[in-house]
A = this chain, B = another copy of it.
Amino acid sequence: MTYNVGLIGWGTVGGGVLDILSQEKHRIEQRCGQEVSIKTIVTRSPSRSRSQNAGSALVTDDINVILNDESIAAVILLVGGTDISKEFCIQCLEAGKHVITANKAIIAEYWDELFAIAQDNNVILAFEAAVAGSIPIIDSLRDGFVANRIDGVEGILNGTCNYILTMMEECNLSYDSALEKAKELGYAEADPTLDVNGMDTAHKTAILARLSFNTQISMDSMNIEGIESLSAGDIESAKRLGARIKLLGLAQRQENGISLSVEPTLVPITHQLASVRLNNNAILIDGHACGPSVLIGQGAGALPTASAVLSDTIDIITGARQQAGPRNCNVTFESLDIIEDNLNRAPFYIRFVVQDESGVLAKICSSFSNHSISIDSVNQSTGNDNGEATIEIVTHPCLRSSLSSVINELGSKPILDVVTMKYLL
């Protein structure tokens, strides 16, 4: 018996899928109880020479070969971006084929539309590879942690950013040099914009929030900040505080809804996420029964991503996924509000560069007090030759809007520069 699969997109990850299927053919077929065959590959460049052999697969640039082939029950969709990829996804689902994808953008942005189409056509839309590569986080939320009320998710979800931050901290590189090194090693793409500006992390955070809280998630009120403006000074400040800066996607259950954010965050070095180095990803799941649980691994790359793609594929081939019922993500169980980021509470770190004159510290402290922000610690450095001093403050949990009010109120003089960062509790 043979299970025929279509593959759309023969790039890095598509190549990884072909590599694993050929290296581990016997192992995978034992687990599926049948032969697994990539019958057709659709690619924009059928004639380009590649390091993998297509074997018996037909290679074409026409998606209709897959859509019209009734012997193909599942399609692995590895096309990036949103427009064409979404279109291909819908065409495959409507043709009655299960779809396995690594595309986080279409899942995050068109969740309701795509899962409704999948349900109407009685097929599965699987996306383990869309978040954190080989880390089985989607499967764990759907299955391993299923008996839990999930209270929070904290994720290092972008390997490019984590590599850059690790290099800045451990090797004292500037942001630009660290980014260059990431490009050299293939951890950053030629255009790394969506990685370093936080959008990639935001898509993944939205997906994890949706699965964790089973409520509709809109990214509109998510505060999304990247790592582009981080300086060596920020890294040094973190070290002095016994913390590391990580680009974290946070989704947390609050009394009055769900808070969502993506931003550089100070993580105390004793926290499990602080020791996640280089291009690794990591996710902390806080469930009411399991307690804090952390999963760490490779978030990108040909083989790790293909490992996740194939775990979905094998699940679908055996029919196990089709039985998972409401756990297959297309159901919204709860209706929870997304809290405006300004109304979220967290401890913050603020670094003021000020004119070194008397009364500045008093003025700053009064302003915090006037806005009911309680201060956890203050550190003022001695002034430099330019007559500038640095004042660092860590607050107790406070409203982000109150902090904005303080900074607005203090204005531009004697304050020369302000950096704020959220502190992970």
A interface with B by C-beta (< 8 Å): 16, 20, 23-24, 27-28, 30-33, 128, 133-136, 139-140, 143-149, 270, 272, 275-277, 287-298, 303-304, 306-308, 310-311, 314-315, 318-327, 331, 333
Expressed in whole angstroms, the Cα–Cα distance for A326 and B32 within the complex equals 7
Shortest CB–CB separation between residue A297 and chain B, in angstroms?
Answer: 4
In the bound complex, residues from chain B placing their C-beta under 8 Å from that of A23 are 149, 288
Contact, CB under 8 Å: A134 / B307: no
In the bound complex, residues from chain B placing their C-beta under 8 Å from that of A28 are 146-147
Contact, CB under 8 Å: B310 / A147: yes
Contact, CB under 8 Å: A145 / B30: no
In the bound complex, residues from chain B placing their C-beta under 8 Å from that of A331 are 30
Expressed in whole angstroms, the Cα–Cα distance for A149 and B148 within the complex equals 31
Expressed in whole angstroms, the Cα–Cα distance for A37 and B291 within the complex equals 25
Contact, CB under 8 Å: B291 / A294: no
9 A-B pairs with the lowest CB-CB distances in the bound complex, closest first: A136-B144, A134-B290, A293-B297, A147-B310, A289-B307, A289-B303, A320-B323, A319-B323, A294-B296
Contact, CB under 8 Å: A148 / B293: no
Q: A323 contacts which of B272, B303, B322 (Cβ < 8 Å)?
A: B322
Contact, CB under 8 Å: A318 / B323: yes
In the bound complex, residues from chain B placing their C-beta under 8 Å from that of A277 are 270
In the bound complex, residues from chain B placing their C-beta under 8 Å from that of A294 are 294-297
Contact, CB under 8 Å: A304 / B320: no
Contact, CB under 8 Å: B143 / A32: no
Contact, CB under 8 Å: B136 / A307: no
Shortest CB–CB separation between residue A187 and chain B, in angstroms?
Answer: 14
**What are 29 sample pairs from A and B whose C-beta atoms fall under 8 A apart?**
A23-B149, A23-B288, A24-B148, A24-B288, A28-B146, A28-B147, A30-B331, A136-B139, A136-B140, A139-B139, A139-B144, A143-B311, A143-B315, A146-B311, A148-B307, A275-B275, A289-B306, A289-B307, A291-B303, A291-B304, A293-B295, A293-B298, A294-B295, A294-B296, A295-B295, A315-B324, A318-B323, A318-B325, A320-B324
The residue in chain B whose Cβ has the minimal distance to the Cβ of A327 is B31
The residue in chain B whose Cβ has the minimal distance to the Cβ of A306 is B289
Contact flag A134-B289 (CB < 8 Å), given A139-B144, A140-B144:
yes
The residue in chain B whose Cβ has the minimal distance to the Cβ of A34 is B325
